[in-house]
A and B are shown apart, each in its own frame.
Chain A
Amino acid sequence: MNGVRTYRRPISTWWWVGKRTYFVFVMRELSSIFIAWLVVYLLLMIAAIGRGADAYDDFLRFAANPVVVVVDLVALAFVVLHTITWFGLTPKAMDVRAAGRPVPAAAVIASQYVGLVVVSAFVVWLVSR
C-alpha cells in the first residue's frame, strides 16, 4: 500500500505451544523422528539376526537396556499418534468413492483399522509361527 507504514507482527518460535491444535500438529510431525529411529532399530536387529545366534542374543540384551526401552516406549507412543492422525486425515485428503457415491468418512477410517488388524495379525503369525 502506498504511503502507509504497515506493521508486520513477528511470529514466535513457540507459536505452536499456545493452541492445542497447533501443538498436536507439531507432535504429529515429530513422529517422523521416531519412525526413522524404529527403522534404524529394526535394521540393527536384522543385521544381528544375519550375524548369528550370539549377535541376536546381544541385540536382545541391548534392546532390554532401560535407556533403549524408554526410547522405544516413547517411539511407540508417537507411532500410535501417527497411526491415529494418519487414518483420521485420510478421508479428508482423498475423495473416496464407491459406485460413484462418496464413501462416508467413518467407513474410510474403519476400513483402515481393519487393515491395521489384518496386517498386525499376519506379522504376529509370521514371526512367531
Chain B
Amino acid sequence: MPDEAGTIGLRVARYRPDTDSEPGWQEYDVPLRREWTVLDALNHVKNEVDPTLSFRWSCRMGICGSCGMDVDGTPRLTCGTFLADFAPGPIRVEPLSNFPVVRDLVVDIDDFIQKLPRVKPWIIRDEEKSVDEGEYLQSPEELDAYKQFSMCINCMLCYAACPVYGLDPDFVGPAAIALAERYDLDSRDQGARERLDVLIEHEGVWGCTFVGECTRVCPKHVDPAGAIQRYKLKAARESVKALLLPRGAR
C-alpha cells in the first residue's frame, strides 16, 4: 500500500449545546495514510479544516485513556484505531455511548469519576505498618494474582460497551468492579470486606448479566466481565458462610 492512498470519509457526530437541540452529522474527507489513526484524522480536521471540532486526547500511545470514542459503533481508543482498517469508509465517529454528550465528541464523565472511589480502590490495612518496619513485601506470584486487573487506564470503553450501564446508570459498572477485584487480590490489602459491602448491594454486581462486551472492547485486556462474575461468587460464598456459621466465627 502506498503511503497515501487517496482520502477517506469521516462521519463525525457534532453537538453544539448553545445552538443544537440534538446531535447531527458532519462529513469530512481526510487523507488516507497508512500510519494515520482516527485520532490523527481528527487532529488533521481540527488543525486544517474545522477548528470548532471538539474532542479529548492526550498521550497518543494508548495509556492516558482520554481519546475513547465510538468508531463504527464500537468503543475504541482512537489513537490505536487505524484509518486503513476501515477503508473504503466512511468511518462513523461518535462520542462514547451511555454518557451524556457535552459537546461534539466530548462526554460528561462525572458519573464514572464519582463511582470509582465508592469501591475504595486503594490498599486498606487493618493497621498500617510504621515506616520503620519497611515496605510490604510481595512475591512475583502475588503480583501476578492481580496484575491483569491493575492494567485498567480508566478509558471508560467498558462503560460505553455495557448495555446494563446504559439502561441503568446506577450500576457501578465494569471498570470500578474490576478495580475492586484488583485490590481484593492484592496480598497487601485487607479491605475485601469493605468493598464487598458496597458491591453486594443491588446496584453493585447483581445488575450485570454477563454480556461480556466490556471485556471484548477493553484495550488493556483487563477482563472486567470475569472480575464481576468472580465477585458474584465471592459475595455468594460470604453470604452462605454468614448464614451457616455463628456470629464471629469467621
A residues with a Cβ closer than 8 A to B are 1, 4-9, 11, 15-16, 18-19, 21-22, 25, 29, 89, 92-95
The answer for the CA separation of A29 and B211 in the assembled complex, in Å, is 10
Q: CB distance B233 to A93 under 8 Å?
A: yes
Q: CB distance B225 to A92 under 8 Å?
A: yes
Number of A-B residue pairs at CB separation under 8 A: 64
Query: Per-position contact with A for B16-38: 1 when CB-CB < 8 Å, else 0?
Result: 01100011000000000000000
Q: CB distance A29 to B209 under 8 Å?
A: yes
Which residues of A have CB within 8 Å of B233? 93-94
Which residues of A have CB within 8 Å of B110? 1
Q: CB distance A22 to B100 under 8 Å?
A: no
* Contacts known (A22-B163, A22-B211, A92-B226); A1 close to B73, Cβ less than 8 A: no
Measured CB to CB, the closest approach of chain A to B100, in angstroms, equals: 4
Q: A29-B209, A92-B215 are in contact. List 6 more A-B contacts (CB 8 A).
A: A1-B102, A6-B101, A22-B211, A25-B209, A92-B229, A93-B232
Q: Which 10 A-B pairs have the closest CB atoms?
A: A93-B229, A6-B100, A5-B17, A92-B226, A7-B101, A25-B211, A8-B100, A6-B108, A11-B166, A6-B102
Q: Does B15 contact A (CB under 8 A)?
A: yes
Which residues of A have CB within 8 Å of B232? 93
The answer for the CA separation of A95 and B229 in the assembled complex, in Å, is 10
Which residues of A have CB within 8 Å of B229? 89, 92-94
Q: Does B207 contact A (CB under 8 A)?
A: no
Q: Which of B196-250 contact A (CB under 8 A)?
A: 209-213, 215-216, 223, 225-226, 229-230, 232-233
How many B residues are at the interface, by size bracket? 20 to 34
The interface residues of chain A, by DSSP majority, are classed as: loop
Which residues of A have CB within 8 Å of B212? 21, 25, 89, 92
B residues with a Cβ closer than 8 A to A are 15, 17-18, 22-23, 73-74, 97, 100-102, 108, 110, 163, 166-167, 209-213, 215-216, 223, 225-226, 229-230, 232-233
Q: CB distance A92 to B163 under 8 Å?
A: no
Closest to B234 in A: A95
* Contacts known (A21-B212, A89-B210, A92-B225); A4 close to B230, Cβ less than 8 A: no
Q: CB distance B211 to A95 under 8 Å?
A: no
Which residues of A have CB within 8 Å of B101? 6-9
Which residues of A have CB within 8 Å of B166? 11, 15
The answer for the CA separation of A9 and B100 in the assembled complex, in Å, is 7
Which residues of A have CB within 8 Å of B211? 21-22, 25
Interface centre among A9, A15, A16, A19 (most CB of B within 10 A): A9
The answer for the CA separation of A23 and B210 in the assembled complex, in Å, is 13
* Contacts known (A7-B15, A89-B210, A92-B229); A16 close to B163, Cβ less than 8 A: yes
The answer for the CA separation of A92 and B213 in the assembled complex, in Å, is 13
* Contacts known (A21-B216, A93-B210); A4 close to B226, Cβ less than 8 A: no
The answer for the CA separation of A16 and B212 in the assembled complex, in Å, is 13
* Contacts known (A25-B212, A89-B210, A92-B225); A18 close to B163, Cβ less than 8 A: no
Which residues of B have CB within 8 Å of A89? 210, 212, 229
Which residues of A have CB within 8 Å of B213? 21-22, 25
30 A–B contact pairs at CB < 8 A?
Answer: A1-B102, A1-B110, A4-B17, A4-B102, A5-B17, A5-B18, A6-B102, A6-B108, A7-B17, A11-B163, A11-B167, A15-B163, A15-B166, A16-B163, A19-B73, A19-B74, A21-B211, A21-B212, A21-B213, A21-B216, A25-B212, A89-B210, A89-B229, A92-B215, A92-B225, A92-B229, A93-B210, A93-B226, A93-B230, A95-B230
